[in-house]
Chain A
């Protein structure tokens, strides 16, 4: 892949309303079950301050360095973190090493797991009802954010009519 910029998931925090549909889409895609515990993405909140933030892997690579079994690498296809389950011994070194608390652990299987970008079609991004998640390159995301910030506040949200229109 060389120097080609890989895509990853970016978050517009102020758009997130904390519905956690991303968590359910994630666990369903991977395990055909609904379980925030099995989700690779999760939403942290402070309800008093009205703060919500989805957290997921930013592909910093700290887990790769930390793994004593060399079980973690980057996927050739997407650049996502890839864990070789046969090699993973459940030592949790990667969980401790992850600076963003997004290396997760399945106690039932005794294996670590994290975002695999759904092989290039991340379900959380696809189904976020508020378009708070983006699957893009850092360059494109920073350009997008710049444009958003330049917009006047009033242009950002298209306000509907109060009275429903047919």
Chain B
């Protein structure tokens, strides 16, 4: 087999080219980069066909590489952790919403599997440069960034970028190289190892969850900047494009399309409010009295300027906004998403979109996950309410519900780890462990990660999905939107074996719903398509995804094979967590969601009946309800037996 092995050694400036490379793949580019920051070397290697066959791309490759190359119990912020950027077989094509990429590492926030996903324009650029993934090892002695211009790959000095925020970094890189370079980078949050630091591309697109930005910071890696001038070819161009046209029509016909396209995810604020699940004051209630001032209507009338699309996306839910009046006049940029509006808004008792837009801008510039950030501040506010914390603890600030000055000031303190911000930068779990005094009761996290916006007491499949998600409190692992879309009961019966599956307040059919969504979700994240295309209109189901992948790659990706790949990925992530000592005892929800019924509103009295759903879910997964460990049969069918056996992670009773 002819392939290219280029070795670039920075500083010594040695450049060796062995064979000339021609891509034997369609869809895929056929080439990966292995970067060693310790020795300042970059290797180009051919893509491993086993990775394609068994793990598809993106998120699948990330867990495969981490499981095989990371020893258990490594320090997530030490040089042994590995940071992975991975694309999918559709990246760079016209397939709708296919511009996403995965960033993964062992999470400093949870100690388990960490990954985040982002859109924008970075991923296709890396594809056009000719790469499928970047695997980054070691730690640089001083700040560096990775420069990629087609075949040229170099580790460059980033001393001048260190200390800059993500917007400044992006601009400097565009000025130094060229306007058409696309970059992902960390801000001060990642540099200062904030446990929930994000990686940002295109100023407002965040690979935010699980603290991947802190891992990047710990490696002294400030940015990756890319220009690709190549092309992506697909195996059956005409059929592939015809399938795109057919899929576009399905997307446009989705009843939710006009709202999502025009208002962006802000329209979910209204949906959450109507269901009584608009998380308010650290989830003490689901009814926010200042709902109107953070609603989609207000966003549109006062702040929305225009749509700002990810590459090749027909939905373009991203919005550009501007604050014209008041204390935060002049603030502009990518708008806060639904999660941000709630976590930095209603969860903190903030009923003013201009504050939330400002807070979002700061979080983007510093590179912070708005969900974990907002939740951590909401936790502090409840501790104030309960008298567990006072202004003596918080640098003299009254961190009380609705105090926008405190909110804004805390964000900067977190990014720079100043004063109380140093504690807050550790996330809710560690913060409450430090404070004690019963604060653990309302310290909301799962597996160490703070929960998203929607109050799951009004959506039971989402509740189960939070508990079982491999990366911690996560609405996106399952994203079982099916229960929220008002489908006819017959459809619930057909898809998930119960007419009640279409009722968000019912537990029936939900284990199966979560199981299916998690498996297919892993496929979607590995094909690197946006979940909005697959789980909003259900415009792309496994049989459609199969067609996309077959037409793009020419390889055999039947729907059955894809679902097996999804299940394999999910289980390998599970094994990764088990290997780190994170098992079934962590498949829990914060007690507020299981033991405290919603006090008011349309879903009053509801809580998540987790223990009703969990055993059925374990059974579907073929995990022991006693030990949480996977069965031999399951592991064999997924070709993961050796992976589990090596670390004694197989259920003994089987």
CA distance A63 to B471 in the complex (A): 56
Across the interface, name the chain B residue whose C-beta is closest to A21.
Answer: B312
Min CB–CB distance A6 → chain B (angstroms): 29
Min CB–CB distance A97 → chain B (angstroms): 21
**Cβ-defined partner of B295 (8 Å) among A14, A44, A50, A162:** A162
Beta-carbon contact of B332 and A50 below 8 Å: yes
Across the interface, name the chain A residue whose C-beta is closest to B297.
Answer: A162
Indicate if A90 sits at the interface (CB-CB under 8 A): no
Indicate if A163 sits at the interface (CB-CB under 8 A): yes
Indicate if A143 sits at the interface (CB-CB under 8 A): no
Q: A44-B179, A50-B305 are in contact. Are A163 and B270 (CB under 8 A)?
A: yes
Query: B residues 91-138 with Cβ under 8 Å of A?
Result: 92-94, 121, 124, 128
Min CB–CB distance B39 → chain A (angstroms): 33
Kindly count the residue-residue contacts between A and B in the assembled complex, taking CB atoms under 8 Å apart: 112
CA distance A130 to B295 in the complex (A): 25
Map CB proximity to B onto A1-39 as digits: 1 under 8 Å, 0 otherwise. Answer: 000000000000010011111001101100111111110
Beta-carbon contact of A162 and B263 below 8 Å: yes
Beta-carbon contact of B232 and A33 below 8 Å: yes
**Cβ-defined partner of A21 (8 Å) among B128, B296, B314:** B314
Q: A17-B307, A50-B306 are in contact. Are A163 and B274 (CB under 8 A)?
A: yes
Min CB–CB distance A13 → chain B (angstroms): 10
Beta-carbon contact of B267 and A162 below 8 Å: yes
Indicate if A139 sits at the interface (CB-CB under 8 A): no
Map CB proximity to B onto A39-53 as digits: 1 under 8 Å, 0 otherwise. Answer: 000001001111010
Min CB–CB distance A9 → chain B (angstroms): 19
Interface extent on A, as a size class? 35 or more
Beta-carbon contact of B128 and A35 below 8 Å: yes
Beta-carbon contact of B320 and A50 below 8 Å: yes
Beta-carbon contact of A37 and B311 below 8 Å: no
Of B253-261, B401-409, B500-508, B510-518, the one with at least 4 CB within 8 A of chain A = B253-261
**Cβ-defined partner of A28 (8 Å) among B94, B259, B309, B314:** B94
Q: Which residues of B contact A37 (CB under 8 A)?
A: 128, 229-231
Q: Which residues of B contact A34 (CB under 8 A)?
A: 92-94, 231-234
Beta-carbon contact of A164 and B259 below 8 Å: yes
Indicate if A149 sits at the interface (CB-CB under 8 A): no
CA distance A14 to B229 in the complex (A): 28
Q: Which residues of A contact B93 (CB under 8 A)?
A: 24, 34
Query: B residues 276-304 with Cβ under 8 Å of A?
Result: 295-297, 300
Map CB proximity to B onto A84-114 as digits: 1 under 8 Å, 0 otherwise. Answer: 0000000000000000000000010000000
Please list the residues of chain B having a beta carbon within 8 angstroms of any beta carbon in chain A: 92-94, 121, 124, 128, 167, 170-171, 179, 202-204, 229-234, 237, 241, 255-256, 258-259, 261-263, 267, 270-271, 274, 295-297, 300, 305-314, 316, 320, 322, 332-334, 486
